Amino acid sequence: MELETWHLLLLPLFFALGWLAARVDMRDVVKESRAVPDSYFKGLSYLLNEQPDQAIESFLELAKLDPDTLDLHFALGALFRRRGEVDRALRVHQNLVDRIDLNAEQRTRALYELGQDYHKAGMLDRAEDTFMRLKDGPYAREALQNLQQIFVLEKEWARATETLQALVAAGEDGRAGEIAHYRCEQALDALLAGQVEVARVHLTEAIASSAKPIRALILLGDLEAKAGDDAAALAQWRRVEQVQPTYLPLVAERIFAAHQRRGEQAEGIAYLRACLERHASADLAHSLFTLIATHQGWAAARTMAAEALRHTPDLLVLDDWLQAETASDQASLELRVAQDLVHRQAARESHYQCRACGFKARQHFWQCPACARWETLAPERMHRD
């Protein structure tokens, strides 16, 4: 019982000691907060409110009061770059790099920021030199990412391939498919230089490096067709259906042309008709409609379009059906007017669209001209806004 009473007597003492410790800590916090200039808090407030211009002015005022504040200069440089004042960002970060009082970690950070400034300013040679100095340090991954973007901009596909392979090896997910496109670009460069076998090697590597090497299959088929081997070309183009059938509209006319050169027009149309039955597609239906109208006549084309319209109720398919209906001299004026209106609307609204940024184009691109991402334009055109 006496032991328990002694313990109770210690409680007020512990309470008093805790209160005194809290008071000391609070005094330190208040002293530190009073030592920070108001412009610092103003700058933070502006940043939180997404007002970078006002934030810069506040931080500039603070930099004049304390020119040795390193983190403040990094913040200012990043804000300048974000606002598009790259020349000011360059001066800030170059001054940091030139300072002799920085340790290795701080200098590396300043160098990385300087490389980003060069990249943003379009000074690709200087940016490349800067990031090459960083690719083995703590900013290795970021440096490789920037280098890969630079090599793509400069169309140095071999170096872009090597850099992206290093990134994939470092654990960057979802980028392996891009390597196939770089190989395809190398193949196109080789073909322009007349190096057919070199191009074939690049395309073979592209097919091996991707689970869905659609572009490489198409280009390899083109290469075989140009060499006069239509059987080998058809073998590559027909693989498109097995790998990714949504890309069939891009090879439909190639497939028929190869069959035609072999004297197999009927076989070519039969194959494309079977593809359409297995994979409904407005663009594929339109290609097949044009071929049937040209080689089998309007009656066969009208039957085909009517069947396709039941499975694919699309403006482009409706335009084809109306075109076949109005091909006869007996077509009514009302039907001709309707066909003309539908045709104008289909032509105005038909476009390829990037799934990443929404960019619209009249022709298909493997790399989006707007966001520079690969294989984001759908292989089939949209026929509505």
Q: Token digits for 10?
A: 């210690």
pLDDT tens digits for range 90-103? 887 887 788 787 88
Q: Which residue has the higher pLDDT, 384 or 368?
A: 368
Q: State whether residue 384 is helix, strand or coil.
A: coil
Q: Is the pLDDT of residue 31 over 70?
A: no
Q: State whether residue 205 is helix, strand or coil.
A: helix
Q: Is the pLDDT of residue 134 over 60?
A: yes
CATH number for the 229-331 domain, one of 1.25.40.10, 3.50.50.60, 3.20.20.70, 3.90.226.10? 1.25.40.10
How far CA 19 is from CA of 22, 23, 28, in Å, comes to: 5, 6, 14
Q: Is the pLDDT of residue 164 over 60?
A: yes
Distance between CA atoms of 362 and 343, rounded to whole angstroms? 16
pLDDT tens digits for range 194-204? 999 999 999 99
User: Global pTM?
Assistant: 0.78
In this structure, the number of other CB atoms found within 10 A of the CB of residue 10 comes to 9
Q: Chain-wide mean pLDDT for the chain? A: 84
Tell me the DSSP string of 334-370.
HHHHHHHHHHHHHHHH-BEEBTTT--EESS--SB-TT
Q: What is the mean pLDDT of residues 42-57?
A: 50
Q: How confident is the model at residue 51 (pLDDT cuts 50, 70, 90)?
A: low
C-alpha 311 chain-centroid distance: 33
Task: Spell out the long-range contacts of 87-94 with Cβ–Cβ below 8 A and sequence spacing 24 or more.
Answer: 87/121, 89/113, 89/117, 89/120, 90/114, 90/117, 90/118, 90/121, 93/117
How far CA 88 is from CA of 22, 37, 74, 106, 198, in Å, comes to: 45, 24, 12, 20, 46
Distance between CA atoms of 127 and 122, rounded to whole angstroms? 8
Name the DSSP letter for residue 36.
Answer: S
Residue ranges, comma separated, of all CATH 1.25.40.10 domains in the chain are 229-331
Q: Is the pLDDT of residue 135 over 70?
A: yes
Number of H helices, E strands in the chain: 19, 2
Tell me the DSSP string of 158-189.
HHHHHHHHHHHHTT-TT-HHHHHHHHHHHHHH
Q: Token digits for 225?
A: 């067709």
Q: What is the mean pLDDT of residues 281-294?
A: 95
In this structure, the number of other CB atoms found within 10 A of the CB of residue 115 comes to 27
Q: Is the pLDDT of residue 15 over 60?
A: no
pLDDT tens digits for range 64-115? 434 456 777 777 778 778 888 898 888 878 877 887 878 899 899 989 999 9
What integer pLDDT is reported at residue 53 of this predicted model? 55
Q: Which residue has the higher pLDDT, 235 or 211?
A: 235
Terminal C-alpha separation, the chain: 87
Q: Is the pLDDT of residue 147 over 90?
A: yes
99 CB-side CA count, 13 A: 21
CATH topology of domain 68-149: 1.25.40
What integer pLDDT is reported at residue 89 of this predicted model? 85
Distance between CA atoms of 351 and 362, rounded to whole angstroms? 5
